[in-house]
């Protein structure tokens, strides 16, 4: 031994060397960040393009379903129950051409009531349905 050299540790160190572990974890984290695709809020839909210079004729048959603040349903202005709504939707799906269903929930209508109506629309296999009147509540 050299003169003046004093060993600090007479026994070997029992602790684990964490430096290689941290290096591996950092590499894995970087690989994970690189491989995750960027998240977007865009829903990509492939819509068919209409043939040039042809305008489809509008469907003249429309039914309007209003959902009020109290959860009442108005079928073309007439109050109906959920059972009557099911019957009306079943009848409209047998018509040719099939009428469009325009859903118009009032601004303060409960989400639960709208969700229930959407469930009925789905179970009755309504082919053409859309929300109308929402542009009045659009914020800019």
| Ordered structural domains, the chain, with CATH | 62-134 (3.30.420)
Which pLDDT band holds residue 79 (cuts at 50, 70, 90)? very high
* DSSP category for residue 54: -
Distance from C-alpha of 105 to C-alpha of 131, rounded to nearest angstrom:
8
Stretch among 36-45, 54-63, 80-89, 95-104 having the lowest mean pLDDT:
36-45
Query: Which whole number is the average pLDDT over 118-122?
Result: 90
For 18, 65, 104, the CA distances from 109, given in Å and listed in that order, are: 58, 13, 10
């Amino acid at each position: 031994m050299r003169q003046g050299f004093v060993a600090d540790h007479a026994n070997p160190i029992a602790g684990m060397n964490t430096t290689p572990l941290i290096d591996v974890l950092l590499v894995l984290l970087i690989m994970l960040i690189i491989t995750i695709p960027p998240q977007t809020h865009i829903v990509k839909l492939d819509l068919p393009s209409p043939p040039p210079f042809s305008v489809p004729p509008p469907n003249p048959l429309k039914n309007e379903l209003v959902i009020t603040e109290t959860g009442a349903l108005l079928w073309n202005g007439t109050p109906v129950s959920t059972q009557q709504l099911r019957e009306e939707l079943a009848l409209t799906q047998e018509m040719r051409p099939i009428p469009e269903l325009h859903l118009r929930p009032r601004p303060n209508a409960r989400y639960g009531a709208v969700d229930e109506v959407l469930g009925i629309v789905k179970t009755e296999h309504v082919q053409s349905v859309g929300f109308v009147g929402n542009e009045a509540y659009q914020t800019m």
